[in-house]
Each structure stands twice: as C-alpha cells, then as structure tokens.
Chains A and B, each alone.
Chain A
Amino acid sequence: MAFVTANWNPLGEAFYRKIELYEMGWNLKDGLRECLVAAAPYGGPIALLKEPQRRSPSVRPQLEIYSSSGVAMASFPWKSGVVKQLGWTVCDDLLCIQEDGTVLIYDLFGNFKRHFSMGNEVGQSQVVEAKVFHSPYGTGVAIVTGASRFTLATNIDDLKLRRLPEVPGLQGAPTCWAVLTQDRQSKVLVATGADLFILDYTACTAVSPPGLSPQATSIVHMCVSFSYKYLALFTDSGHLWMGTANLKQLNVCVTFFFASDRHFIPSYHFSWCRRPKSQQPSVVIMWDGHILVAGECKNTISYHLEGVSILVPELDGVRIINGTHHELLQEVPASCEEIFKIASMAPGALLLEAHKEYEKESQKADEYLREIKEQNLLGEAVKQCVEAAGHELEAETQKTLLRAASFGKCFLSNFPPEPFVSMCRDLRVLNAVRDYTVGIPLTHTQFKQMTVQVLIDRLVYRKLYPLAIEICRYLKTPEYQGVSRVLKHWACCKVQQKEEADEVIARAISLKLGEAAGISYSEIATKAYECGRTELAIKLLEFEPRSGEQVPLLLKMKRSQLALSKAIESGDTDLVYTVVTYLKNEMNRGDFFMTLRNQPVALSLYRQFCKHQEQDTLKDLFNQDDDHQELGNFYVKASYKEKAQIGHLQSAVDEYNKAKNEFAAKATEEEMRLLRFQKKLEEEKGESLVGFSLHDTIRTLLAVGLHKHAEQLYKDFRVPDKRYWWLKLTALAEKEDWEEIEKFAKSKKSPIGYLPFVEICVKHHNKYEAKKYVSRVTPEQKVKAHLAVGDLEGAADAAIERRNDGEISTVLSRCSPSTDRALVERLNRAKATAAKK
C-alpha cells in the first residue's frame, strides 16, 4: 500500500504512472525487431508479422496472433504478397494490407474470412503507406500510393472507396499524414514539408495551424488523439504543436522546445497520452529505447526502455509493448491522486486512513472520521474511494479502497448503494478478463466506454463461451442480449465442427439452447448452410418457432416449396410474396402455376398482383386451372374495357358454356344481341345507346319516341309485362304525354294495376289526368288512389264501403277537424259500426 505512489512521476500539475500489465507469455527471439506489429485498442489482440520485407520466395514470413498477455492464439506462414500494414477491426478481425492494394481479412484464430481491394489503380503504383482507423461508422482503411494519391474507405463492411483529390506539389510519399473524423466524414491530413493540407472527398484545402513556429521547414510527425479531438505535430526544428484537430485552435503549447539536435527525428512512435477530463494534454514520444512524456510545461518525464517497443494509444493512456513486457502509461486519475498523494488531506485519503486505523483497532479511526464528518464530506470521501478503486489494477488496492468506502458508508444514512455495488461488479468482471489466460487488460474507463455487450462479443470472438455466459449471468444481462446471444455464437461455432455428425450436433445444440429465450435458430442454420451442411441446416430450422424466419434460408437452399408453405404459415404476406416472386423467376411457368394451385393464399395474392400488373398472366393462370367461370368473368370485364366487345363476349360465352354455367352464358349471349341491336340503332338513328342496360335502352327509345323499336326489344328479350308497363308509363309521364298514356292504359288490362297511373300523374302534378284512372283501380287500392288525388270524400266512401278499420283511420288522419267536420263524423260512425261487427 505504501508504494502506490512509487511509480508516479510529476509533470506540471499532474502525475503520470507506468504500470506493468503483463510479463509477456510469448517467447520472441529478437523481440519486436524487424516485425510489423499491430495491437488492437481496448486491450485487444496483437498481431506480428516477422520480417515482412523479405522477398525471397523460399522463406515465408510467419504471421502470429497473440492475446495482450502474449498467449499465442494463431500462427501460420504468410503466403500472399508483401504486407504493408496490419490492423484490427472493431470486431477483432485482422486486416492485412498488401502492397498491391488488396486487403485480406482474417479472424482472431487466423482463419481467412474474405478480401477486398482498395482499387484497381493501386496495382501499378503500389501502396506506400496504409493506416487502419476507427470511427463511429466502423473500421476504415486509408492508403497512399506511389503516385501520391490517397484512397479511403470509411467502413470496410460497407465498402465505398473514395479516391481523394490530388495534393498539389506532392511527389512520392508525404512526410507524414493522419486520418481525421470530422463532420461525419473521414478526412486525411497531409504534410509535405511545412505545408499542411486537409483532403476531403471533394477538395484539398491548405491549412496552417495557428502559432506553429515559422522556423520549421518540415512537419515530420503528426498524431491524432483517440477521440479525434486533438492533434499533435512535430517539426524538424524540434517544435511540438498541440491543438485541436480542426486546426482552428492552438490548444496549449507551441513553444515546447525540448532539443535542438535532430538525432531523434526518425522517432519510432509518437502518441497522445490523455484521458477523459485530463488535467493537461500530453504526448508520448518514443525513440531508441527512450520514452518521453511531454506536456504543457518545460519539463518532461523520461523512461528508459528495453528493446524495441510499440505504443498503443488508448482512451485513457498509452500501452507500451516490448519483447518481454506490457505496460500501461497514463495520467494518474484525479481520485487516485487525491487519495494517494503524499500528505493529501482530501476526504478520500482521510477515510482510507480512518479505515486503516480501524483495522488496527485504534481510536484514531474515530478522529479521522470526525474530521471528515465535520466538513460534511463523508459522502464525497466514499465516492472518491469507490472511484479510485475502479482505476486501480491491483486487486489488493481495489479491496482496500472498497473496504474503506464500505466502512465510510456505515456512517451515512442515505447514501445510494448503486455506485458501490456496480463498481464491485464491474471490478469483478474486469479482474476476470484481465487474467493472464484471458488477456484483456481493460481499464474501468475503457470498459464503461466499450459497454458490457461489446465485451461479451469480444469474449465470444475468442471462443471463451463459459466465461461470457458467467459474466452475463453475474451482471444479470437480459437473456435476449446476454446468455442467448452467447449461446447462439456457440452454436454457430459448433456447426463448423466438421468431424461431428449432423445428428449429434443438432441434438447438442437443441439441448443447450432449448431453454434460452430469443434464440434465432435460423441464424445458426444459415451458418450451417454456409459451411456446406444443408442437412444440418434443415434439422436446425425445425427448431425455429417463427416460421417467417425460416423462409430466407430455405429459399437460399432451394427448398422453395417448403419455403412457400412456411411463409404462408407465418401469416406475413410480404414474405409470401417474396417467395412467389422468387419462384416465378426460378421455375418454368407450368410448374410455377402448379405450385400456386396448391397454395390458395399465395395464389390469391398473386392474382391480386396480376390484376394490376399482368392481365395476360392472369388469363394464363385461369387457363392452367381450367377455371372457365373465372375466364368467362375475365372476358366480360375485358369487354367493357376494350374495343372488340363482341369478340370478348363470344369468348366469355364459350367459357361459361365450358363451365356449365348456362345462366351466365345465356345472359352474355343476350348482351351480345343487345349490343348488336344498339350498334345498329346507333348507326341508323344516331342515338347513343351502347353500354346501356336493356332497361335503359328501352327507356331511351321510349323517351325519344321510337316506340316501335322499344316494342321490338320488349318482344325479342321477353321483357316481363310488368317491367314494360312500368317502364313505358314512367317514360311517357316524364314526357308528360298524357294522351299516349291514356291510349296505353286502354290498350289492354294493366298487369301492374292502375294505382301507378294515378300516382305517376300526381307526381307530375296533373291531378286532372290522375282522376281518370281512379275508377279503374282495384277496390283494395281505391282508398289510396282517392287520397293520392286529394279526394277525401271519395276516399271516405271507399273506406266505409270496404268497412276496413285501418283504412278508415288512415282517411281520418288526413282530415282536418275544422274543415271536414261532417266527413269526420261520418267516418267515426262507420268506424264504430265496423268495430261492433
């Protein structure tokens, strides 16, 4: 405990510490000399390619992958072209960028995944330098070619190559360059000599950082901070410039002038060393076994290094890896500084002291506690201890701090327990993954930034399934995001084990996954299919409860029939439609129609589509099914859309006959007859009739006085008498042709009676004509007829004569008591007598 500050070094206001993370487990003969090294951030894996430049075909360089603790994960001889740069993606895949612009992707275990090219034009000019960078959009790659052209891909999973504009005056490789992410765009910052340019997709803009010493003739190094917010430039005159990455603001320090001779210029590495809420910006510079931390002030901290090292910038520090050791260099976090700084009187420090005394059973504990409590800072003290525990890597120190926090908590009544509890949990997880065998040296700050989900993913990539599941359970991650996800990955890995039989694997998977919620069997099956195990895939699909999920894979496996029925089962019509479209392109017409025939849901869906898009297909479809009824309907519909009406109708008749639908056939035939008649008449008389129904045709004829033709239709089409009489009556009344009506009424006995005559006359306000027919109305309707023409007396007479109670009442209701008093009396009397009987 006393030595916590032993590795602290002051620089200006802040302290820096260098902590050993691991003694490397690898056994490298020459250390990292002549190696191409790439270490992933967030304690990720390390890739080594030994002697990449050796071109002799007989000796192949070896590519090795290690965990952060130096445990070997993969090793294989490099057989492809000359590698310019190695890098890791956010998903822990290894990128190997070759001289010819090809990028090969390997997984953690050295299995080849895929490759892509950075553009054809790279081929001749070759990649001079390449960088792998991370942005919110994923992992990107930037290259510069021998022809001094930059090409950039922001996200290798959604590859869009951007060839950046030319840099004026640049010949060969630039002195140095870096990738920036600004305004949702990736840009390249290039230095040629003392000139700086920003290259975006469209333009090349010259920039000049404010306050850069004019003495500089060349910018020899530059580096961008982990968050892309800050930029550091290093000039050949020995000036160090630190500012914001947009080059607008000189952040701190131009005048840092730390050597005048130039022997360190080919410094091997250069990196920012900051942390969120850093007290001061600082940069780490490394060369020839020396490491230098430079900040705002004139002082520097210098460390000696053994052997060739690399710097791995992190969110909250820099990791230093060499042939034997793995260390973390960072600014001491504020809470740790407060607590452990010598003679600190911060509340946290006092609390720690109090707890120490308490363990010694000394009453001094009380004194310290009182001191904190008097200042009312106990809450603050506990918080500091909890926070500091998070920043410490030694389990012992963590424990001491947490115990002190817990001790302090006892004297607080309403201190929220969550921060303490979650810190304990987090630390347990962190300590587990920092373990030498796992080798992920995450700090608490990094862990919070990276989230549990990502950590679980990383463990899964490393195939550390049991640990991942334990962590999920321990942190009570919802099953859907936690355990189930891990199990799914496990299953995907399991299906690739070629040596085991389909049966065995399927059973093992269902046994283990059976209980878990939210498992997508279709994803596992897809994986199995990708590995060429179709049978296994089908077996696994059977476990998938959501039929909709099975469809895409079934289609891919060409089990289209099965896919169709599964799609229908899912009830998702879009899915059914997807399969139908697929089948349509895949099968020949006959088979396609046959398939549909067995699936009514799909069939009606396809019919709906055809109705709007492909009328002819619809016809074929009916033909195939021998659905003559529908074909008939189809032609009828066509007949009133197109010109060749008669032809279509004839086809319809044929189809209806085939469908044994006599009624429809006859109706259609009649329509054809009517149509011919209408056409003929149109030509002769110029009356527009086509499209009218029989009824309307007759009415039109009557209206224009073509009685003969109307009569002919009446006979030819055997129009019922009643209809004809109604028709003629209405038509004549409309013309107010009263004479003709009278003639018509007398022509023969009306099949509709004479009440309609009365009513229609009244309707056209001709009571005089109406009265003519009242006498001819049947006795049952007499009252109505009289009432219609407004003859109350007549109505009364008729009602009384018929001795009908209801009718008498009807008449009564129409009488007004003041004017028709006599009538009312008569009716009432009749009503009384009718009632007696």
Chain B
Amino acid sequence: MAHTGRRDAPELPDFSLLKRLARDQLIYLLEQLPGKKDLFIDADLMSLLDRIANVTTLKQHEVDKLYKVELKPIVSTSDQLCFLIRPRIQTVKWIADIVNSDKASGRFRRYKIIFTPQKFYACETVLEEQGVYGDVTTDEWAFYLLPLDDDIISLELPEFFRDNFLEGDQRWVTTAGSALRLVYSLYGPFSKVYGIGRCAKMVYESWRDQVEDGEQKARQPEIGNVFLIDRDVDFVTPLCSQVVYEGLVDDIFRIKCGSVEFGPEVTSSDKSLKVMVNSQDKVFNEIRNEHFSNVFGFLSQKARNLQTAYDKRRGMDIQQMKTFVSEELKGLKQEHRLLSLHIGASECIMKKKTKQDFQELLKTEHSLLEGFEVRECISFIEEHINRQISMIDSLRLLCLLSITENGLLPKDYRSLKAQYLQSYGIEHLLTFANLKQIGLLVEQQPGETLTVMESKVGKLVNDKTAGKLTDAFSSLAKKSNFRALSKRLVLIPKSGEEYDLRVPRDMAYIFSGAYIPLSCKLIEQVLERDGWTGLEEVTRMLNGHEFAVTGGTNGTEARIKTDPQRIILVMFLGGCTYSEISALRFLGREKGYKFIVLTTAITNSARLLEALLDNHA
C-alpha cells in the first residue's frame, strides 16, 4: 500500500527544531536558579520531558534529584526546589503547602515554579491567597509543541478536551493560538486557513491577534494550508473501535508520548519493554496504517525476507562474510528484534480481540453506523452492560447509539441508564450528567424517533397519519444530524459490495470499509472545493462556525500548487485518533498532499470517555 501513492508527494518540514528550541529554553530556565536543586515534575510531563532532555542533560544543569509530583509531603533535603508543572490549581496549592510548612519549621529554601506552557492568573492568585507569593519565583516554559513523529505534533494537553468542551473553560484557547503562532513563525506564512467549530474559530482569532502584535517576515513557506477542526464536530469517529494497527496498539497498550510499553506477554520474556513507535521503526512504519487483517500477512512476508537475508551467509567466503557482518548484520538484527516485537504485539491483540467477541462488537458498531437492526443493537448493549464486560466499552456503545440515532428513546434512555448504574455504581449519575451536557448521550425529544418511524413508515404508507408523519419528518430532519450527514457526505459505502482491505478504495478501510470518518471527509471536501461552498447544508447540520480565510500571500500565488501548497496542517482541537491520522495519510497519498497533524493530544474512545467521568475529583 505504501507504494501506491503518488510519487510527487512533497517533503515534510523538519520539526526537530521545535525540540531544540524547547530544550534550550528549559536549560536557560534551570540556570536561572543557579546551584544544586531538586526538580519536581508533574506526572504527565515525565514522558514529555523524556523526549526533550534526558536525565544526563538535567544533571549537567545541576539538577540533583528528580521527583514526581504526587501531591504528598516531600522528603527532599535540597535547599533549592524547582517545580516543573502544568498550570493547575491543585499542584500550585500543594507547592504553597510545602512552602508554608517549611516556613513553620523555620527552614529556608528557594523555590521556583516553572509553568508549562504558560502560567495562569488563577495559579498566581492561589500563591497570593496562601501568602507565599513573595517566596516563590515563577517562570514559563513556553513548550507548546512536541513532535511525536515526522507528521504528528502534539500539544500534549489531554485536559483541553474536558475543559473546553465540557466545562466551557476557554483558557486553553490562547495556548492553542500560541502554538499555532509558533508553527506559523517557523514554517509559515500560511496561504489559506479553513476551519469549523466554535473553538476553532476562537483559536484562529487568538492566533491572528498574536500575529498582528509582532512583525511579519517574508519567507519561503513550508506549510501551505491549515485546517482547524473541533473534536465535537465529529464524535462518532473517535468512539468507534480502531482496527488499523497503530490505532489498535493505542487502544490496547496505550501509546504515551509516542512510546509504548509492551508487557511480558508481548516481549515473551519476563520484562516489559518500552519502545518508540514512529517512522524510525521500519517494521512499524510499514504496518502502522494497515488494516489489522493484513498485518499478519505483512509480518510473515517480512520474516521470510529476513530469513533469506540471513541465509545469504551460507556459501560466503571469509571476505564476503566480513563485509556481511560489518554492514548488514546489525541492520538485520535490529529488524529481527522489531519484527518479533510486533509479531508478539499482534498475537496479543488477536488474543484480546477474539476473547470478548470482538466480531460481535464490530458488527454492532457497524449496524449502528448504518442505522439498521437498532433494536438488536440495543439488546446487545444491554447484555454488554448486564454482564459488566467493560465500563468504558458499554458507555462507548451507549454514546454511539445516542449520536447515530440522534438521542435515545425516553424508555431506552431510562432503562439503559438504570442498568448501567446497577452495574457500575451511582457515581455514574454524574457521568451521565456530563455526557448529556456535551451531547454524547441524550434523550430524544418526543416526536423525534426517527429510526423507529423510518422502519415503520413502509407499513404506514396507507395510514391516514402518513401526512402527519411526513410533517414530523421534515421537522426532525434538521436534528437527526449524523444520519443526514452520512447520507449527504456518503460516509457509509454501499453494503453488499466486497471491500478488499488489502487494496483500499477510500478512507473507509480504516473501519473495515464500513464508515469513512466524518472529520477526514470534511477535510477532503473542503480542500477539494477550496472552501465551504456547496457544503452549506453540511455546515448547518454541524452548527456552523465554519470559515475559510486567505492568508498573507495573494490569491494568484496561492493557486499555483507549489510543494509547500500541498502540505496541509490539520489542527484537531480536543484530540485526534491514530485511525484519523491513518485516514489522512491515505488521503494524502491519493491526492498528492502531505498532512501534518497538530493535535491537543492523541485520543481514543477510552481517553475521550475517561475524561468525561466524574470520579476523579
């Protein structure tokens, strides 16, 4: 598959610069507190920091001991404490407690808080309220962008999703704007910016404001167009089970900051192994975008090739052997290691996915997407809940049902929720409140029972009420968005036709040919039309907030498809899944684009829903 794409795909810009910038700034900040010091790091910044500066680098700049922030009393004996944290009130409060307890015991230390990527006024208020504002120096590590791979950059801000879409807290909008601004200043100017969603619009405006403050430089752009999209434009895609290799690995092993920890069951030894999964891993790079059903074929082919390469040794004379050992053997060994790792991982995935009737689960998902046999789906979900198979999966199916059906029937809504509470506990009352607020799990308003009516409508043709029904239909057509969107954008390929997953026709291959991700389809359409014209109906159903703005360069220039013009930055606000990235890579190969994904965090169904649980407080 990697070979079918257009050959003239443009080169990607070099993002390692971002890491260097971040590293230099961190070192500078550490040196602002001269002398030996202990460094406390927010737990979720640990893997992030790993990618920027290793322990040796930190030690070189007089970091004595490293601790993880655990919100418990500390044991450090150092006279200088440095805290590297996200701007969260709890953490700041914890630091204030440390300072105050030191004061009470008459201990003198120097404290420095480095907020990343920025500090918030609320955090400073906490310091002030706790009476330690003068005792602590604060700084900002403006580390916005972590390149996870050649074409993926992440803000690593998982809380963006909940804060922005559930709590209505817009404080991260400026952060996202600043991140975009950084990309712009290093790789811009952009020729066109498209976007959809409320947050996307705000981020765009925040970026514009920030750019106007500074000066603009004329430079050869490395990125042509930008597409901003809110996660809540498309909740369906991240709620589906992933079946592309990279997505599966994320679903099952959880990829963290571009690296994954394979347990003993994968490594077939008694140790776990942490590996980076990106394009540097040659084996992974070949299978990451493949549908899982092809992966074994690929891997065994690969294994055969490897064996042939090894076999070359036979019949070599000494000289040849020498060159073989010095030149090829190391590469082969490396490949061998990776190969056995990924075979192990695939086996593990197979085991897990067959155990819980994965096929049944997929079938249900596909039925929901297509909108038939809904009743069967509901019983399946019911059983899923009753058997307490998986808290998150049950919730995921419920949400998928609600979105695709534009809400649940009042009766189902109540009974499913009640059963869910019986299975997983009363605290999910709050989860349901959250899901309702964000619109993932809602009750149909009376008279909106679209699917049910649709299924019955055939029988009712002769009925007198048919006239009334059509009235009802037209009124609810506006609201039954997913179904209508899917029709309008042809998201569901015609069923019945055989879909060869080895030679994908369209982006639907990432869901076994059952569904083209809405988010990616939108991007494709907008790029094709160079704007939103002709998609008015679609945007209306998505609650609008779409925009397309021509950037600094003038129109004629933008029309020439130079290489950078075909490099497109897609910014997901609220996270994106590996499946979506695979789909975009496929789209890029088909159309001769290169996509760069800039996301607030990598997400999947589990992360998305866990963010909406309310048992963490």
- Residue positions of A touching B, CB distance < 8 A: 546, 571-575, 577-578, 581, 600-601, 604-605, 607-609, 611-613, 629, 633, 636-637, 640-641, 663-664, 667-668, 671, 691-696, 717, 719-720, 722-723, 726-727, 730
Contacts and interface: CB of A to CB of B under 8 A. Distances in A.
Contacts of B418: 663, 667
B165 to A, nearest CB: 11
Contacts of A719: 422
Contacts of B417: 663, 667
A574 B426 contact: no
A612 B93 contact: yes
Contacts of A637: 430, 614, 617
A612 B93 CA distance: 9
A723 B125 contact: no
Q: Interface size bucket, B side? A: 35 or more
A612 B163 CA distance: 14
Contact of B386 (A608, A612, A723): A723
A723 B426 contact: no
Contacts of B25: none
B90 interface: yes
Interface of B: 89-90, 93, 120-122, 125-126, 129, 163, 167-171, 173-174, 202, 205-206, 209, 382-383, 386-388, 414, 417-419, 421-427, 429-430, 433, 614-615, 617
Contacts of B423: 693-695, 723
Given A571-B206, A574-B122, A611-B617, 9 more contacts: A571-B173, A577-B125, A581-B121, A605-B169, A609-B89, A691-B425, A693-B425, A720-B386, A722-B383
A571 B205 contact: yes
A696 B391 CA distance: 13
Contacts of A601: 168, 170
Nearest to A694: B422
B170 A633 contact: no
- Most A CB contacts (10 A, CB to CB) among B122, B167, B202, B430 go to B122
A691 B615 CA distance: 12
A403 B205 CA distance: 54
Contacts of B202: 571
B122 A577 contact: yes
Contacts of A608: 163, 167, 169
Nearest to A693: B425
Nearest to B171: A573
Contact of B422 (A571, A572, A633, A693): A693
Given A573-B173, A717-B422, A726-B387, A546 B209 contact: yes
Contacts of A633: 429-430, 433, 614
A611 B169 CA distance: 13
Contacts of B125: 577, 581
Nearest to A649: B426
B132 to A, nearest CB: 15
B123 to A, nearest CB: 10
A640 B427 contact: yes
Given A571-B173, A608-B169, A577 B430 contact: no
Nearest to A663: B414
Contacts of A691: 425
Contacts of A581: 121, 125
Given A573-B170, A605-B169, A726-B386, A668 B429 contact: yes
Contacts of B171: 573-574, 605
Contacts of B382: 722
B120 A667 contact: no
26 contacts: A571-B205, A575-B121, A577-B125, A604-B169, A605-B169, A613-B93, A613-B129, A629-B433, A633-B429, A633-B430, A636-B430, A637-B614, A637-B617, A640-B615, A641-B617, A667-B418, A667-B426, A667-B429, A693-B426, A717-B422, A722-B382, A722-B386, A723-B386, A723-B422, A726-B386, A727-B386
Contacts of A663: 414, 417-418
B376 to A, nearest CB: 14
Contacts of A636: 426-427, 429-430
Contacts of A726: 383, 386-387
Nearest to A721: B386
Given A600-B168, A663-B414, A667-B418, A573 B120 contact: yes
A695 B167 contact: no
Given A612-B90, A726-B386, A577 B120 contact: yes
Contacts of B383: 722, 726
B429 A571 contact: no
10 residue pairs, one from A and one from B, having the closest CB atoms:
A693-B425, A604-B168, A573-B171, A723-B386, A671-B426, A612-B89, A574-B121, A694-B422, A695-B423, A577-B121
Contacts of A629: 433
Contact of B174 (A571, A607, A613): A571
A694 B418 CA distance: 11
A720 to B, nearest CB: 7
B429 A692 contact: no
Contacts of A577: 120-122, 125
A613 B91 CA distance: 12
A423 B123 CA distance: 53
Contacts of B422: 693-695, 717, 719, 723
* Residue of B173, B386, B418 ringed by the most chain A CB atoms within 10 A: B386
Nearest to A480: B215
B169 A573 contact: yes
